[in-house]
Structure 1
Amino acid sequence: MPIIRDLSHFPPSACHGAVAIGNFDGVHRGHLEIIRRLIQRALEVNGPAIVFTFDPHPVRLLRPEQCPPPLTWTERKAQLLAEHGVNKIVAYPTDEHLLGLSAHDFFDSIVRDLLQAKAMVEGPNFYFGHNREGNVELLSQLTASVGMSLDVVPPVEIDGALVSSSRIRGLIAAGEVATAKELLSAPYRIRGMVTHGAGRGAKLGFPTANLEAVDTLLPSIGVYAGRAWLDTISYPAAIHIGPNPTFGEAAFKVEIHLLDFEDTLYGQPLEVEFLARLRDVTNFRNEESLVNQLQDDVARTREIVG
C-alpha cells in the first residue's frame, strides 16, 4: 500500500472515512482491536479506514535522549496495517509546525480540514496537541461538537498485563522473542544491509550474512531461530547476535545463516524475523565443538520454523 506523505496534495480517497491516530509501533494485538473497530466504523460511514501516524515519532524531535528504539519501520508498519484491513496509511512528516499545534488546532486542521473525518477510533491513552494537552475526554467534546462519532477502545490484557509497545520492547530487549510474538500481530522483524564479514562461517560450513544499519530494536545477545526474507521469499535462518568469543572477537555482530541458500547477498537489503531463542552466546573450546553446536542450532531451527 502506498504511504501518503505529501500532505500538500492530499488524495480525496483518504477523506470522509474513519480515522485512528497514533504511532502503532509494533502493530500489536492491542492495536488490532482498534483496527477492528475502525473498519466497522468505516463501513458504517461508507468511507475508508485510515490510520494517521507519524514519521519520525514526535519524541525523537522533542526529547531524542528519551526516544526508545522503534519496533517497526514505517513501511513495515503500513504493511501490517494493510494486511489487517486498513485502506489508507498517512505518515505525517513530523515537524515543528505539527508539534506546536494546540489540541484544538490539531483537531481542526488535521481531523476536520485535512482528513474530513466522519468517525474516530482511539485507545484510552491517546494524547494530542502541544505538550500532549489533549486527551480522550477533550477529543470526545470536540467530536461531539461537530457530530462526529468517537470510539474509545479498551486496552487488551494478556497474561494479566496490558499489551503495549513498551512491554513488547522489554521482552525483545530480554531476548524473549517467542513471548513477544504472542503479543504482536506478526513475529518480530528487523531489517538491514548485508555487508562483508570475516568469512569464517563459510569456512566452517555455515556461511552467514552480516547485517548492518539495523534501524529498530535488536534482541539481546544470543542465538535465535527465525526466517530471513528476500523480497517475498523466506528461508529458515539461524541468527547470531553478539560477539564471537571462540575466536577472540568482542565486536557486536548480527549474523544470519540462511538454510538451503547458496547465493551471495552482499549489498542487498535483508529482513529477519525471530521465532525463538535457542541459547546463549558461548566460548567453545575448539572449532569441532562449535561446529557440533551449529549443527544442533540448524536442526532446531528447521524444527521450529518447519
Structure 2
Amino acid sequence: MRDRPAATGAGHHGPCVVTIGNLDGVHRGHQALLRRCRALAGAEAQVAAVTFEPLPQAFFRPEQPPARLSTVHQKLALLRDAGVDLCWLMRFDHQFATLSAVDFARRVLADTLGASEVVVGGDFRFGHRREGDVERLTALGVELGFGVTVEPPVSGPDGRISSTAIRAALAAGDFAAAEDMLGRPFRMEGHVIAGERLGRDLGYPTANLRIRARPSPLSGIFAVRARVHEGASPGRWLGGVSSIGIRPTVGGREPLLEVHLFDFDGDLYGRRLEVEFVAKLREEARFDTLDALVDQMRADDAAARAILARQEPGSDSNND
C-alpha cells in the first residue's frame, strides 16, 4: 500500500474512510466504492479496505465454494493500485462468523480503524447471520462517530456487475464480458514449478503453475498471452496455448495451469508467469493414445495462433 498520512483520529489507524467486502477480483463495482472512498478521504484521511479470507461462502459451504477471481496476492496488489492505504485482511472463521453487527462496528470500524465514513453498496449485510444492513450500520455510525455513504451499483451491458456475473462469464468462455466487468483482462499468475517433462517429450514443452486461487473459474484449453516477470518488471507478452485441468490422458490428479509459449526456448522454473486468457478452444478431454493427444495439441496450437493473429493491434496486450 502507498505511504499513509499520520493517524490523527480515534482508533489505531484512523481517521479512515472504509469500505467492506469480499472484493474478489476487485472489479468495476469495487473500484467505484474505492473511488468514492478516495474522494471522501481527501488529504486528511486514509482509505481502508476490510476484506476476508477465506470468502464467507467458502467457509459456510466448503463442499461447494465459489470459484475465485483472484489470489490474495492479486487482490492486495489491485487494492493498492486502486488507492487503498490500509487493507485489513480478516480471517473468516467460526469466531468471526459469530461476531455481532454491533461488535463488528465497534471493534473493527470504530476502535481499530477509527472510521470517519463507511462506504458500502445498498445490499450490504454484516454481522452474525447477516443481521446488520445499511439502516443498522447508519444507526451504529451515529452512536460510534462515523457516517455512512451508499454507493449505487455499477451496471454493464448485461446488468449489474458482480463477482458472480464475472464467474459466469468466465465459465462460458466470454472473456470480453469478463474484461468489461473487471475493467481489465482476466489473468492468472504463479511461479513455474517442475513437471514431469512429458510435454517436452511430446514436442510441446509447458510451464506448469499450481492454481493458487481455487476453485478456478476456468477449465479447458485456451488461447493465451503470457509474460515472465523479472523482479518488479514484467517482460513482453508472448502468445501461447494453455490447459487448465487434471490431464486425464496421463493420469493427472491435481489441477494445474499449463502454458505452452509459441517459439520460446528458455528456462522458466521458479519464475513468475502471468497468463492472460484470450479465447476458449475446447473442453479438456481424455485421449486413448499419446499420438491422438499430440494430434489434438497440433490442432490447438494452430487454432490459438490463428485467434491471436486476428486480434486488432489496438487490442494486443503487448501494448500494456
Residues 138-183 of structure 1: CA deviation (Å, up to 9, x unaligned): 1111113344221111111111411111111112222222321111
TM-score, L = length of structure 1: 0.83
Q: Which amino acid in structure 2 is aligned with residue 254 of structure 1? A: L
Are the structure 2 counterparts of residues 29 and 241 from structure 1 closer, same or farther at C-alpha, using a change threshold of 3 Å? Answer: same
Corresponding residue number in structure 2 for 1:80: 78
CA distance 1:66–1:95, shift in 2 (3 Å): same
3-state SS of paired residue (1:89): strand
TM-superposition CA deviations, 1:234-270 (whole Å, max 9, x none): 432322334778xx54646532023454222234453
Give matches, 1:156-235, under 5 Å.
156-203=154-201, 205-216=203-214, 217-230=216-229, 231=231, 232-234=233-235, 235=237
Q: Which residue among 131, 141, 148 is the counterpart of 1:150?
A: 148
Q: Which runs of 5+ in 1 are unaligned?
A: 3-10
Q: Distance in 2 between matches of 1:54 and 1:260?
A: 41
In the alignment, what sits opposite 1:5? Answer: none
Q: Shift of the alpha carbon at 1:27?
A: 0.7
DSSP-derived class of the 2:115 partner: coil
Residue correspondences, number = 294
CA RMSD of aligned residues (A): 2.9
Structure-2 change in CA distance of 1:22 and 1:75 (3 Å): same
Specify whether residues 285 and 18 from structure 1 end up closer, same or farther in structure 2 by C-alpha distance, changes over 3 A only: same
Q: Distance in 1 between matches of 2:32 and 2:195?
A: 43
2 CA distance for matches of 1:147 and 1:201?
Answer: 61
Q: 1:118 to 1:286 in 2, by over 3 A?
A: closer
**1:238 paired to 2:241:** yes
Mapped to 1, the partners of 2:90 and 2:247 lie a distance apart of: 41
Equivalent in 261, 270, 273 of residue 258 of structure 1: 261
Distance in 2 (CA, whole Å) between partners of 1:301 and 1:53 is: 36
**Residues 23 and 243 from structure 1, CA distance in 2 versus in 1: closer, same or farther, beyond 3 angstroms?**
closer
Q: Structure 1 vs Structure 2: percent identity of aligned residues?
A: 34
Match of 1:51 in 2: 49
Amino acid paired to 1:297? A
Normalising by structure 2, we get a TM-score of 0.79
Amino acid at match of 2:40: R
Contact 2:222 2:277 in 1 (8 A): no
Q: Aligned partners of 2:246, 2:176: CA distance in 1, in Å?
A: 22
Stretches of structure 2 lacking an aligned partner (at least 5 in a row): 3-10
2:298 aligns with one of 291, 294, 298: 291
1:34 matched residue in structure 2: 33
